[in-house]
Amino acid sequence: MTLIAPAPPVLPEEVWREREAAHQHRARDLTSAHRARAARGEPHPVEDFLFTYYSYKPAVLHRWHPGAGVELADAASDGRAAWRWYRPGTAPGSLAVDAAALRAERGALLDNIGRILRATAGRAPGFGCFGLHEWAMVYRQAEHRHPVPLRLGQDATDAVVEAHDLRCTHFDAFRFFTPEAVPRNREALTRDRQPEREQPGCLHAGMDLYKWAVKLGPLVPGELLLDAFELARDIRVLDMRASPYDLSDWGYAAVAIETPEGKAQYVRAQRGFAERGQLLRERLRGVAAG
């Protein structure tokens, strides 16, 4: 007996147009401050990170996709007909994400993303790093990544690093450690072992969910992409508030991780981000797996 696959759901035009408009409005709200500063040539040490380190322009967030396995009714005359990774749907005049073509071309990338997401999700979270990766990036250095003064000064900042056990598990944070800080980490991290070391308590692993969502392209529903961006934005704020930089001129109160009270504050926020991250990680795993 031959089994016939069920037809994919078809979103009526008024439904998907409403979702698209809501997405674009939300994306504009999330990017308007950055776009205004960029037009003025005004840098921001906290908020620019998601657009410079990850190198994804605001336009990436503004474009809504329904995700794989959904058809958009009466969309053939829409501009998205010329977008990459779209194909005609089964219903007359409809469009759908061409998941098969995307997976055929980017299968290795999707497999790697899925492997990292799966391994990270299955590992116990760690909450003992206290954001010291940012401190390790300025350890014993006269020039720093951000043109922002150190809250405690260089000598006291170095003393904080020397008084703690560095437990960074994220390679893309570790690779920015100063040469003097590298041997202080519990382990010398490498790119090839990244799937073995990522853990869900890590702030940078949570921020990277935004990167994975972008790399999965139109397979990811637009709402999930913006959820991942919002998590990354919120994590970035904690990351910098707990850093050695004095960000009071930008309106950020320090999370003084060199004190017991600051450590407790950091871990409370870290746990909350880990819970949010695990929910998004599971959704992205489903997308990557198809």
pLDDT tens digits for range 226-252: 999 999 999 999 999 999 999 999 999
Residue 28: per-residue pLDDT = 97
Per the rule left: phi > 0, alpha: psi between -120 and 50, beta: everything else, 131 is left
pLDDT band at residue 6 using 50, 70 and 90 as cut-offs: low
Coil, helix or strand at residue 72 = strand
Higher pLDDT, 166 or 145: 166
* Structure confidence by residue, pLDDT tens digits, 252-283: 999 999 999 999 999 999 999 999 999 999 99
* Structure confidence by residue, pLDDT tens digits, 149-190: 999 999 999 999 999 999 999 999 999 999 999 999 999 999
The CA distance from 32 to 178, in Å, is 34
Residue 245: per-residue pLDDT = 97
Tokens of 112: 């790697």
Please, which residues have CB within 8 angstroms of residue 227's CB and are 6 or more apart in sequence? 280
Give yes or no for residue 68 having a pLDDT over 50.
Answer: yes
CA atoms within 13 A on the CB side of 125: 19
Residue 146: per-residue pLDDT = 76
The CA distance from 200 to 123, in Å, is 7
Give yes or no for residue 2 having a pLDDT over 70.
Answer: no
* Structure confidence by residue, pLDDT tens digits, 103-142: 999 999 999 999 999 999 999 999 999 999 999 999 999 8
pLDDT band at residue 58 using 50, 70 and 90 as cut-offs: very high
pTM above 0.75, yes or no: yes
What is the maximum span of the chain, computed from C-alpha positions, in angstroms?
Answer: 76
pLDDT band at residue 290 using 50, 70 and 90 as cut-offs: confident
* Structure confidence by residue, pLDDT tens digits, 16-52: 999 999 999 999 999 999 999 999 999 999 999 999 9
Helix axes of 203-215 and 222-241: crossing angle, nearest 10 degrees? 150
Q: Which residues pair with 81 in a beta bridge?
A: none
Give yes or no for residue 145 having a pLDDT over 90.
Answer: no
The candidate with the shortest Cα–Cα distance to 115, out of 278, 279, 285, is 285
Q: How many CB atoms lie within 10 A of CB 130?
A: 21
Question: Sign of the CA dihedral 67, 72, 78, 84?
Answer: positive
State mean pLDDT over 74-84: 90
The CA distance from 227 to 149, in Å, is 32
Show me where the domains of the chain are located: 10-289
Residue 82 is classified by DSSP as G
Q: How many CB atoms lie within 10 A of CB 7?
A: 10
The CA distance from 53 to 74, in Å, is 38
Stated as kind and residue range, the H or E segment containing 185 is: none
The CA distance from 229 to 214, in Å, is 10
Helix axes of 260-289 and 222-241: crossing angle, nearest 10 degrees? 160
How high is the mean pLDDT of the chain? Answer: 94
